[in-house]
Amino acid sequence: MLSNLSDKLSKSFARLRGKGRITEADVNAALRDVRMALLEADVNFKIVKDFIERLREKAIGEEVLNSLSPEQQVIGIVRDELVELLGGNAKRLEYSSRPPTVILMAGLQGTGKTTTSAKLAAYLKREGKKPLLVACDIYRPGAILQLQTVGQQVGVPVFEMGTAPPEQIAKESLKYATEHAHDVIIFDTAGRLHVDEAMMAEVKAISEIVKPTETLLVLDAMTGQDAVNAANAFNEMLPLTGVVLTKLDGDARGGAILSVRAVTGVPVKFVGLGEKLDALEVFHPDRMAGRILGMGDVLSLIEKAEQNFDMQSAAAMEAKVREGRFDLEDFLNQMQEIKKMGPIENILGMLPGMDKVMRNAPKEKMGVDERQMARVEAIIRSMTPAERRKPDIINGSRKRRIAAGSGVGVQDVNRLLGQFRDMQKMMRQMSALTGGKMGKMPKGMPKIPRGINPLKFMK
């Protein structure tokens, strides 16, 4: 995500590295690089110009020029300005004081609007709401069926009336929501390949009927300035309250996310970071600025852990580690918990500096190959419950059976068992050194017990 921009900004700051003092010329040279990085990221030219002027005004101040660590000072200024450019503070959804809260989803065809509606419904469900999805796109073939499918996957009902006029569907859905005690209604409206008067008139008519608390515009982050142009067109016709940027995980440039708030004045409220229906995150400008500058996003990592880890089972796992009873069955369960958090690369990318390391290092050296993780899982699943609990009983014939069942070689089974024995030995030593107290997990952050590193098994 935004890897090209991150790389270019890092190189621009490298000009200042190692200097005890910097001159105004040093700052100007670094800012020229920042300017080029932003323009190449497809950020709006006027935004770049204003952004660089603000940076120059602050970076050429006496405090920076006389600083003993000018690079950190300049990076800090850039981070603060990026946060401001991205919107300052996170903007949460507004809820109506008199339910149901109505959320109108607008956008062009192909931006992922229908899937995003389901992702938002899943998010609201996790927040304790009872959402209803409404199918108002009667034109795109398969649109209603798609919404029903994703709605079923997230466990949220879909209201539809086939090809009835969208305005009628909107009116009837309000009655249905009230009768069935739904406190949030999400309207999936029709899109077009380009902005046109018919689409705008229809969305505006629906908006006037349902009177939405939130009108969210769904934009494809990978379209750069085209996304910003679409945002301007919609913002002139609808009272937009927020933007959802999809496909941000595939956007290496970042022009849309850095431009849309400044150009339209409409805050980005959510970002889509994958195809899975739980891959929707509240947008935090400060965390995004940290990711862009290679500082990671530890807070989002903690939140992912809180959402996906079973605290009770994590505590039981920690007790097993302390007592030396951790076996391959437990290791398999630990892998499943980690997989819930998303792709390993995304998780590691939230750690400070790790995103750059992963981009510059071969995958085989980083040990983040998802296929290798699946291979390790297949080996363990090919074992009997008794073999997982007591790996020492696995003899030659058992190894051959496990290898055949998981589609790997016997040497792969031997490697896994050897590494697991080394890990158990290390855990016993740690337990002995600490008197059986290997440290408690920080509150709200279930973690891999000490000594257990699933990535080690994937190298």
Q: Which domains does the chain have, with CATH numbers?
A: 3-86 (1.20.120.140), 101-295 (3.40.50.300), 303-458 (1.10.260.30)
**How does the average pLDDT of the chain come out, rounded?**
80
Specify the pairing of strand 268-272 against strand 242-246: parallel
pLDDT at residue 87 in the model: 87
C-beta of residue 217 within 8 angstroms of C-beta of residue 266: yes
Residue 251, φ and ψ in degrees, nearest 5: -100, 110
Structural element, H or E, at residue 135: strand 131-135
Segment 422-459, tens digit of pLDDT = 777 776 666 565 555 444 444 443 343 333 444 444 44
For residue range 127-186, list pLDDT tens digits in order.
999 999 999 999 988 999 999 999 999 999 999 999 999 999 999 999 999 999 999 999
Is-cis flag, bond preceding 100, omega within 30? Answer: yes
Within 127-277, residue ranges assigned H as helices are: 143-154, 166-179, 197-210, 225-237, 255-264
Residue 74 · residue 27 · CB < 8 Å: yes
Sequence-distant (6+) residues with CB within 8 A of 203 are 104, 106, 189, 190, 237, 238
pLDDT digits (tens, 9 = 90+) for 232-248: 888 888 889 999 999 88
CA 91 to chain CA centroid, nearest Å:
17
- C-beta separation of 188 from 111 below 8 A: no
Q: β-strands 242-246, 214-220: how paired?
A: parallel
Instruction: Tell me the angle at which helices 70-86 and 255-264 cross, rounded to the nearest 10 degrees.
Output: 60
DSSP category for residue 454? G
Residue 408, strand partner residues: none
At 444 the pLDDT is 42
